[in-house]
Each structure stands twice: as C-alpha cells, then as structure tokens.
Structure 1
Amino acid sequence: MVAEKHEQIFRSGSKTYYFSSRFFPPAVRRDVYALYGFVRVADNLVDDQPVDPTAFHAFRRTYTEALRSGKASGDVIIDAFLELQRRKQFDPAWTEAFLDSMEHDLSSSTCETLDEVLTYIYGSAEVIGLYMARIMDLSEEAFGYAAMLGRAMQYINFIRDIKEDLAIGRRYLPLGSSGLASLEQSYVQTHEKQFAAFIREELKRYQRWQKEAQKGYRFIPRRYRIPIMTAADMYCWTAQQIAKDPFIVYKKRIKPPKARILRKGIAHTLGVALPCRFSAKQKS
C-alpha cells in the first residue's frame, strides 16, 4: 500500500522521471519511488498556492524528530524515506540542505547572482543526484558528476518554468549583464533580442554542466545507466525546443511525451540510442 502511494506521487509529479525510472530493476525502482515521495511532498508544500508555511514546518519537524529519536513518525512518506536514508547511508546533511532550499521557497524569492542560484540548486537538485548515487551503490568518484547532473536538469527546469515561477513571485535565473531588467512577458516582448540572447547563454551554461555530468556515466553500471541517460536526454530535448524558440516558455510548458521517453529508454536498452545534442545558437 505504501509502495503504491509512492508510485502514485511519483507518476503524478514527474512524467520524465517516472517513465525513465521504469527502466531500473524493481528493487532500485522501489527505492527511487520512496525518495521521490519524500522530496515531492516537501516540494508541493512550498509550491502549492497559497503557500502554507505551517504545513511545511510541521513536515520538517516531524522528519527531524523521527531522525533524532530513531522512532517511526507515523507519516508513511517520512518513515519510508528515513528507512532508505539509514539503509543507503545518506548523509543527513544532504537532507538538511534539501529542506533548507524548500524553506527558501516559502517566501517570494529572486536570485540575483549565480552564487545564490547554486546555493539553492545544491539543496534542491544536486543532493538528489547524491541520493541517487547512494541508491545505485556508486563509488564516491561518481558523486561530483551525479550532483552536476542534478544541477544541469534543475537549470533547464528554471528556464522552462520562467512564466510559472514569475506567477508566484520567483525568479531563479540571475539577469547579470544581460541588459534585462525583468523576465515578465510584457517586458521581454519589447526586448526580444536581449531576451533571446539571454536564454541562449543560459542554455550554454546548462550544456556545459550536462557535458561535465556525462563524464560520470562510466561509473554507472549499464542496468542503471539506461534510465539515467533516458532522463538526461529528455532534458536535452526540452533544451532543444527552447533553443528553437526561446519565447516558447511563455506559450506552453514543454514536456516530452510519454512515447518519446519510452522510445528513448528502449533505444538505450538496445544500445542504439544516439546522444542528444542541440545548438544554443539556433535562431529564435
């Protein structure tokens, strides 16, 4: 029953991760579901509108008290995660960083510098890569690459979700020397060239991080590498769509179809998948 709840949360929360994870062996898949159940519930508590800080703080307090006492909390999502954390030897500091980033989202947030973004991304995404490395029992040589993959994927989410984030008072992309004062749609419509150039530069940043992360694939056993590469390719596909038309982020939320995810996973299984590539220099 608990496993079914985890799977339901996962399936409703992320099409890309859910269908990619179907290529994991069953035992690993169950652990991934337990991990995702915990992080998705926490994420929903700070993303669902209107935000309910009391509910998030209660969730965090329940986790912390159960961790300290070593006793079951009574919350099946938290208890399953704690069992996983102990069994796979997650560093509790990773979970604190994750919860810190989620708590950061309780108030409207704008990241003005790359350092601010990277601090947030460490807790919101890089530690997810570290959790996954532990779940797959990878050597510590792989950890930096696993964190980098989480960073790259999260950055594409930031670019893809510009419109949705602005609607709830958030901006995760630092404007820096872009010449832009805002990412509001009404503003960028009068600064089209600057916006297109800005998005191209952010896609290049994602591309550099993704290329670095791919160096770590050699540490992942093939049976685990297939779902990881499948998910990464879907983020690359998302980047391709944005590169073709940066203004698409204001028109619709870009998500790969289920059929595309499964086809790519099968192609990786058969060893015939071509690496996903895109050019951030495509015309807008």
Structure 2
Amino acid sequence: MIDRTLYAIFKRGSKTYFYSTLFFPPSVKEDVFALYSFVRTADDYVDAVPQQVEEFHTFVDRYASAAAGEATGDVIVDSFVDLSRRKQFDPAWTEAFLHSMEKDITVDSYRTIHDLEVYLYGSSEVIGLMMAQILDLPPKSHTAARNLGRAMQYINFIRDIAEDLAMGRTYFPREEMDMFNLDDLSEASACRDRERFAAFIASQIGRYREWQEQAESGFRFIPRRYLIPIKTASDMYRWTAMTIDRDPAIVYCRKVKPSVMRIVSGATYNALKT
C-alpha cells in the first residue's frame, strides 16, 4: 500500500506523471511513488521562494545517514533508500541528482550546451536510469532512458521560462541565445522581436525532439504492461511541445499542461493500441 505522504507529494507535484503512473502494476506503482517523492522533495526545497537552503542540506544529510544504514524516520528518505537497495541503484546516480539540485542554489545560467548537459545528467537522466532499474530493463535500454529523462526535462525548461526567470534562472545555453541576438528571455524581450524569439524556441524544441526520438527507439526494451504509462507520459510531453511550438508566447500566459482527461484518454488509447 502506498504511504499517504508519498501519495500526496506525487499528486500535488505532477499531473502528467501522477496519472500516467496509475497505469503501472501495483508493485511498480509503489516504487515510482517512492522515487518521485524523493526527487520532488529535493526539488521543492531549491525551488521555494525564498529557497530553503538549510532544509535542503538537512535533507541531503538525512539521505546520507539512511544510506549508511540508519533508520531516519523520514518516510520520504527511508522509502527511497529501501528502493535504491532493492533495485540496485548506482549510488553515484543519487549523488549526481543531489549535486544538480544544489546547483540550483548557486548557478543561475549556463554558457554552453555542454555545461547544461552536466546539469541535465543529474537532474533528469539519472531519473531515467532509476526508472529502468525499477522496471528491470536491460542495460541496453539505458541510453534511451537517459534521453527520455533529458527530453522531458527540456520541455519543462521551455514551458517554465517565465517561472524560472522569476527565480533568477535561465536553463538555455547563453551562447545559443546570443546567436539569436536575445539579451534575455523576458516577456518584454520576446515581444520586441516575436520572430526571433519564436525561432529560438523552435530551435530548442528541435533539440527536445531529437532527444525524444532517440528515447523512443528504446521503447522496444519495455514490456507491454510497463509501456502504457511511459508512452502516455511521453505523448503528453509531445503534446506540450506541439502546443508551445504553435504559439511560443503562450509560455508567458499560462503553464501548458495536459488535462487529466487528456492523460487518461491517452493511456486508454495506448492500452488498446499497444
């Protein structure tokens, strides 16, 4: 049975992932809830306004204690550590994740795509690797799992431009913004030259689509009973990308997210089709 705390964190944190995950078998569902609750909690500390820096470092210390064998009494941390052991997560994955979260406290921009990819590895690719372990997928699936994680994260960057700017962050390579003569990604800047801004967003969505296609090449490694929720979440991110591509300025008007009805109907369609 899924702990109520983990359930509440997941439901509050992500509509797409939450409703897609409901289509996993019960045992897998519990593991995904434990994973998501851990990564969401760390992310919430660094995304809080003002940032909860002390709370984040306490959380990291509590994880280290649990990883060393101590029962901390924190259901979020203890559940994740139990999951890590059962599914044999590489401890370096968790360390990379926590390091990327810490960067959100100290780093507000990235000069090159290489710089950003270091952040992406910890913030999203290792989550794909953990999911591959939860699903007992072969090592051959790991490249695709990493690409799916980074592709989904990148659409979040595009969708959340305004929200990230409010926190003083920009998650796009500065040198690529320079290529489009964009001083920043503020709404005022986008309005001054809509065509230039739209072209820049199109280039970033193109990067997402490249990673997404590489990720989908690995779907052949996923058993049918697991593919339905993963493909559903993937489809929802494709829909988000398509919606923003049609009207890039929408990112300043609202947070583009699929409705619960769209997610559930997508899962139903994939169940019948897969």
TM superposition score normalised by structure 1: 0.93
Query: Contact 2:23–2:228 at 8 Å: present in 1 too?
Result: yes
Looking at structure 2, the residues matched to 112 and 171 of structure 1 have their Cα atoms a distance apart, in angstroms, of: 10
Q: Which residue of 1 aligns with 2:204?
A: 202
Q: What amino acid sits opposite 1:116 in the alignment? A: D
Question: 8 Å contact 1:38–1:81 — kept in the other structure?
Answer: yes
Matched, 1:18 2:18: yes
1:217-247 per-residue CA deviation (whole Å, 9 max, x = no partner) reads 0000000000000000000000011011011
Where do 1:1-284 residues align within 5 Å?
Answer: 3-68=3-68, 70-107=69-106, 109-175=108-174, 176=176, 177-271=179-273
Q: Identity rate of aligned residues, in percent?
A: 51
Structure 1 unmatched ranges of 5 or more: 273-284
| Conserved? CA contact 1:130–1:146, under 8 Å | yes
Within 2, Cα distance between the matches of 1:168 and 1:66? Answer: 31
Partner SS for 1:105: helix
Count, aligned residues:
271
Please provide the CA RMSD for this pair.
Answer: 1.1
Q: Is the 8 A contact 1:34 1:80 kept in 2?
A: yes
Is the Cα–Cα contact under 8 Å of residues 31 and 134 in structure 2 kept in the other structure?
A: yes
Partner letter of residue 202 of structure 1? Q
For structure 2, the residue ranges without an aligned partner over 5 or more in a row are none
CA distance in 1, matches of 2:4, 2:115: 37
2 CA distance for matches of 1:222 and 1:188?
43
Contact 1:108 1:168 in 2 (8 A): no
Deviation at 1:96, TM superposition (A): 0.3
Contact 2:2/2:33, CA 8 A, preserved across alignment: no
Q: How big is the shift at 1:108?
A: 5.2
Whichever residue aligns with residue 126 of structure 2, its letter is: V
How far, CA to CA, are the matches of 1:2 and 1:24 in structure 2?
13
Range with bigger deviation, 148-157 or 189-198: 189-198
Quote how far apart the aligned CAs of 1:181 are: 1.3
TM-score (normalizing by structure 2): 0.97
| Deviation digits for residues 187-246 of structure 1 (CA, Å, limit 9, x no counterpart) | 121121110100011111101100000000000000000000000000000001101101
1:19-52 Cα distance to aligned partner (Å, 9 max, x none): 0001100000000000011011111010011102
Q: Report the more deviating stretch, 109-118 or 145-154.
A: 109-118
The question of whether the paired residues in 2 share the 8 Å contact of 1:97 and 1:122 is answered with yes
Q: For the residues of structure 1 that align with 2:188 and 2:106, how far apart are their CA atoms? A: 24
AA partner of residue 75 (structure 2)? V
Aligned residue in 2 for 1:276 = none
Whole-angstrom CA distance in 1 between matches of 2:180 and 2:222? 38
In 2, Cα distance between the equivalents of 1:32 and 1:55? 24
Q: What residue identity is the alignment partner of 1:268?
A: N
Quote how far apart the aligned CAs of 1:2 are. Answer: 6.3
The code of the aligned residue for 1:271 comes to K
- Determine helix, strand or coil for the equivalent of 1:189: helix
CA offsets per residue over residues 115-137 of structure 1, 9 Å max, x none?
12111111111011000000000
Asked if structure 2 preserves the Cα contact closer than 8 Å seen for 1:46 and 1:56, the reply is yes
Partners of 2:41 and 2:59 lie apart in 1 by: 9
Cα deviation, residue 179, structure 1: 1.7
